[in-house]
Amino acid sequence: MRENGREYIPHYAVALVCLLAVAGTTAFVAWIMKDVVDGIFNERRYDLIALICGSIAAAFILRGLATYGQAVMLAKIGNNLVARYQRRLFAHLMRLGVDFFADHRSGQLAARINENVSGIRDLLAMTVTSIARDAVQLVALVIVMIIQDPLLSLVAFLIGPPLIYTVNRLMRRLRRVTRESVEINSHLIGAMQEAVQGITIVKAFTMESQLSEKLSRLIADAEHRANKIARVSERTTPIAEILAGFAVAGVIAYAGYRAAFEQEPPGAVFSFITAMLLAYDPARRLARIQVNMERSLVNARMIYEILDIQPLQKDKADAAEVEIAHGDIRFDHVTFGYQPGHPVLQDVTFNAAAGRTTAIVGASGAGKTTIISLLQRFYDVWGGSISIDGQDIAKVTKSSLRRSIAYVSQQPYLFEGTIRENIRYGRPDASDAEIEAAAAQAHADAFITGLPHGYDTLVGENGMSLSGGQRQRLSIARAIVRNAPILLLDEATSALDNESEARVQQALETVMQGRTTIVVAHRLSTVVNANHIVVLDDGRLIEEGSHAALMRNRHGVYYRFNQMQGAKNLELVRDVADEPETRGGRKAAGGPS
């Protein structure tokens, strides 16, 4: 209410007027029943028929219009609240670091947000309707009941205390079950999303039955929790109905006794019973409001649990925009790990000279990609520092740092939309001509123009309509159009065939000119022309130098890597040479070897 109430004061004012009109007309219908029974039927005042019927019709017309108005207004407020929190949540998620997303599955996170964001809308809507409509309507009808017969009113009010006691008993259990239900549903929707995204792996490994069984168990758990919520939350209904039944029966019995033995006119009793029956619905809704609000509060709390998460990486209060004149990068005694007590990099020191290409080489798990992540401040170092042109990147704003870097990841990712839009993500103000020039440099223009809609072709979910090599070339084009002084290539050509790799390597060599480039690669053939090579082993820098200098050390790790890859390539050549000649894709029968 504190965060959103002021924004909707005019809207809530309109809704409140409508809700008060609904409450007032409902009470009026109960009150006028005395005049209907006593005036028209008992006293035979037929001159009152037109007046009474006209007032009743007017009351129902006003009630219908007011009901429509409050429903539309509250729906408008609720929909705006959902949109507001969706924007707020997404903006907050974008501020969180990579570490948060490493610990949370994307499918479950999206499901949790979608399921819980409606809780805040329902919470505010229920607060307004319960106060302005149900509470006011109940008070107005109770006033009518007291005016008509104070003693009968006392009998009707006896159902209140046991109903309130019952509702309070249900709250704690409902809170726990609702939270469990939300968690299970998020797991279910997340599992469904992952199964769809990984459908090629599912089909390739014939995992259909396994995943179906897993999802079936999750669905059964979700169904069980939903049934449990229904059983707990609906227990107020039979209790309220039973208590109301006894109250109505008692009122009618007492009224009948008075009519039979005390000759009381029936108008007041009819008016009282009408008011009591009309009061039952708002009373029942108010009895359930705590149940429903508790469910919405669970959703709202889970949303605020996300909003209350503070980014581990924050810009310092005095953080300045990074200013890159040359692009000289320095790692100075850097130590870092993803989990406490398990360092991935240990005391790593090297220099990536401005305008030159530095290659990072090492076995899998040596820490190569971690260097790329640290340079972009996806994580903060444990010890040491990273600087660009003498500026410690921990003391500059992350946004200015990342705007100065073009990045091609090991696994190219394309977003929903067209090819042109995906390349433009590199630089939003890039012109169509610049986008097409970048695609041509990345050797992607040929296959793009061959597509049915060219640059306006939709790429599908994560570019599933394109091959791995095509997706990688679009990723490279996105980095080219960024036109940043620093270029990071994390296995940028790993998804390409030899011919495409050679063409893209030529394009990258053109792009690298005048830029500080850091290349991470397993294949040494992609780094032999680097100005400087850094060799990592188990998180430590063990060698560095040019290709020629490193190859002179025949006992070094780099030399061993080079020899191993050379042996593998030679073995592959021998296997091809030893393969019998073929005709039409089959081995030839007979003939010289």
Are 239 and 166 in contact by the 8 Å Cβ rule? The answer is yes
Inside any domain, residue 32 = yes
Inside any domain, residue 439 = yes
User: Are 473 and 508 in a shared domain?
Assistant: yes
Most confident of 133-137, 307-311, 384-388: 384-388
Is the torsion defined by CA of 339, 340, 344, 349 positive or negative? positive
Tell me the pLDDT tens digit for each residue of 25-84.
888 888 887 777 777 766 677 777 788 888 888 988 998 998 888 888 888 887 888 888
The mean of the pLDDT values for the chain is: 79
pTM above 0.85, yes or no: no
Q: 160-164, 285-289, 540-544: which range is least confident on average?
A: 160-164
Tokens of 541: 């820098």
User: Are 298 and 442 in a shared domain?
Assistant: no
| pLDDT tops 90 at residue 328 | yes
Residue where a domain terminates, one of 277, 307, 337: 307
| pLDDT tops 60 at residue 582 | no
Residue 562 has a pLDDT of: 81
Inside any domain, residue 201 = yes
User: Are 288 and 351 in a shared domain?
Assistant: no
Angle, CA 582 vertex, CA 577 and CA 583 arms, to 5°? 155
Inside any domain, residue 337 = yes
Q: What percent of the chain has pLDDT over 90?
A: 17
User: Are 82 and 210 in a shared domain?
Assistant: yes
User: Are 357 and 263 in a shared domain?
Assistant: no
pLDDT band for 20, please (50, 70, 90 cuts): confident
Task: Calculate mean pLDDT across residues 147-175.
Answer: 69
| pLDDT tops 90 at residue 461 | no
CATH label of the domain that carries residue 140: 1.20.1560.10
User: Are 406 and 541 in a shared domain?
Assistant: yes
Q: What percent of the chain has pLDDT over 70?
A: 82
Tell me the pLDDT tens digit for each residue of 229-279.
777 767 766 776 777 777 777 777 777 777 677 666 667 777 777 777 777
**Nearest alpha-carbon partner for 21 in 133, 131, 130:** 133
* CB < 8 Å & 24+ apart, contacts of 10-13: 11/73, 11/76, 11/77, 12/77, 12/128
User: How many independent structural domains does the chain possess?
Assistant: 2
SS (H, E, C) 556-590: CHHHHHHHHHHHHHHHHHHHHHHCCCEECCEECCC
Query: 490: Cβ–Cβ under 8 A, 6 or more apart, which residues?
Result: 368, 369, 372, 407, 408, 409, 410, 520
End-to-end CA distance of the chain: 86
Residue 488 has a pLDDT of: 92
Domain with 278, as residue range(s), is 5-307
| pLDDT tops 60 at residue 102 | yes
Task: Calculate mean pLDDT across residues 8-37.
Answer: 82
User: Are 244 and 366 in a shared domain?
Assistant: no
For residues 234-251, b (16+ Cβ closer than 10 Å) or e, as one string?
ebbeebbeebbeebbeeb
CATH label of the domain that carries residue 342: 3.40.50.300
**Nearest alpha-carbon partner for 509 in 487, 491, 490, 494:** 487
Residue 525 has a pLDDT of: 63
Inside any domain, residue 320 = no
Inside any domain, residue 245 = yes
CA distance 244 to 251: 10
CA distance 107 to 158: 50
| pLDDT tops 50 at residue 583 | no
Residue 566 has a pLDDT of: 60
Inside any domain, residue 565 = no
| pLDDT tops 70 at residue 166 | no
User: Are 285 and 333 in a shared domain?
Assistant: no
Inside any domain, residue 312 = no
Which residue, chain included where needed, has tokens 């398990």?
A: 342
CA distance 417 to 434: 18
